[in-house]
Amino acid sequence: MIDSSLDLPLSNANEDRFQALISMTSDSVFSITADWAFVSKISGSGSVAVQSQSLVDWLTTYVHPHDHDRFYLGIGNAIAGKSIFQIEHRTILNDGTVGWTFSRTIPIFNEKERIKEWLCLASDIT
């Protein structure tokens, strides 16, 4: 029988489900501020062990330099269009080698339909 978690407020039940979902993925899961100035790792066991840091530090550390311009262009377009951003890019892996990642980022909106944050999944496709 499935526990419907009726004893938990809906927000706690949803948070528990969200944490369970991302803990079982092989992707890296990130939260990104609305302006993309700051990235925080939420969970996941991906090949890139990003810690919370500014986007500039994150791009310099984990995204191959040849892909920086495409990354910035895609971010700008996603912010302007309030749309999903997807990109295949080279990544500097934990062991220092270069791999490939498919990153998918979706905007999360507040009640005024303004972007309050972005959620990102980064999948190793090396």
Three-state DSSP at 56 gives helix
What pLDDT is attached to residue 6? 45
Distance of CA 91 to the CA centre of its chain: 14
Highest mean pLDDT pick, 16-20, 110-114, 118-122 = 110-114
Share of the chain above pLDDT 70, in %: 76
Beta-bridge partner residues of 30:
41, 120
Confidence class for position 10, pLDDT limits 50, 70, 90: low
pLDDT higher than 80, residue 77: yes
Residue range 13-40: average pLDDT?
A: 78
Task: Catalogue the E-assigned strands of 1-126.
Answer: 28-33, 38-44, 53-54, 85-92, 98-109, 115-124
- What is the tens place of the pLDDT at every residue in 84-118? 999 999 988 778 889 999 999 999 999 999 999 99
| Structural domains of the chain, ranges and CATH numbers in brackets | 27-124 (3.30.450.20)
Read off the pTM.
0.74
